[in-house]
Amino acid sequence: MTNKTENTAPTSFALMGCGRIAHKHAGLLSQGSIPDARLVAVCDVRPERAQEIGTLYNAPWYTNVHEMMAKQGDNIDVLSILTESGNHAAHLLETVRYRKHFVVEKPMALSLDHADAMIAACDRAGVKLFVVKQNRFNLPVRKLMDALTADRLGKLVMGSVRVRWCRTQAYYDQDAWRGTWALDGGVLANQASHHIDLLLWCMGEPESVMAMTTTGLVNIETEDTAAAVVRFRSGALGIIEATTATRPKDMEGSISVLGSTGVVEIGGFALNEMKTWQFTESQPGDEDVLGLYRTNPPNVYGFGHVEYLNHVVVAIRGSGRSLVDGLEGRKSLEMIQAIYESVESKREVALRFRPSRSRLGRSNEQKAPTP
């Protein structure tokens, strides 16, 4: 394995997949936003996309990952898998032989079996697996986690996440895989996976979930609108509200946590604005929080990717543990699968389960068995 042994050398990244999110990764890695990292190569099976990203960000581009590894492998520390969600597992398992660390965009996979195979393969190869959950690094979110760690909210009663974004038919028509069960999933698996991750991170171990979905405004296989109620082992409840049917533009991506001694709400359209910071017992500095923890990111990706990729570099260099490894990334996938299972079965679904009815990760020809 070609991991750097000296902290003075930048950690080198190569991208697999040059779609929409690749611009975010490539821009940060190639323009100095991550001082200890650099972009060394990009790859996509569609030549025009590989060439676009490679040319724009001054990196060699390839249409075959094995050719890229043959020519650039000695210069690569990390492979970032930015392909279709349903192909993440196949692409990781195809390239784990090169013994590079992996950054995998959310969700890490569309089936629990695939997620487990990814985790096991990286363990056998002795490489790290990072799942992109950049919103954990948003400043207001970190402030919320500080309050939870210090037990300032007391007994947790309810946590809610809301995703009210706009994705028109033109968005889904950009690529044939969007909005499909086999490669994408709907608003829950795609847009809301970050928010579901944060709900679980804040509220603890889930016990069960009940859910309903609908497809209201676009022509896709999957849902554009969903609502779910989660029961946590602590006795607290959780609400997941997610839609891409907000019109005419994005409205909010938010989380609120209510406890016996306080309430915190983070709003904005990318979990970027502290809106409520209230406790039965105030502490010095509380009056400044609303003013200090307000940002205005240019898009729904927010600012968290910078801190997330810095965190990856630090973890690879052995200076800290990964905040979102494969096991942690699997938790939100299991909840998403349980939500889809509840939708199909029309029942409350207990967590720690194996899906039988969920369609996520299946093609239309792969129907779930009749119970």
C-alpha dihedral (92, 93, 94, 95), degrees to nearest 10: 50
Q: Is the pTM of this model over 0.85?
A: yes
Mean pLDDT of 137-165: 96
Q: Which residue type sits at 314?
A: V
| Per-residue pLDDT reduced to its tens digit, 70-107 | 999 999 999 999 999 999 999 999 999 999 999 999 99
Instruction: Check: CB of residue 87 under 8 Å from CB of residue 291.
Output: no
* Sign of the alpha-carbon torsion through 335, 340, 342, 345: negative
Reported residue count of the chain is: 371
What CA–CA distances, in Å, run from 356 to 219, 303, 343? 25, 37, 12
Query: CB neighbours of 217 closer than 8 A, spacing ≥ 6?
Result: 224, 245, 247
Average pLDDT, the chain: 93
The pLDDT value given to residue 125: 98
Q: Which residue has the higher pLDDT, 302 or 184?
A: 184
pLDDT higher than 50, residue 3: no
The pLDDT value given to residue 4: 44
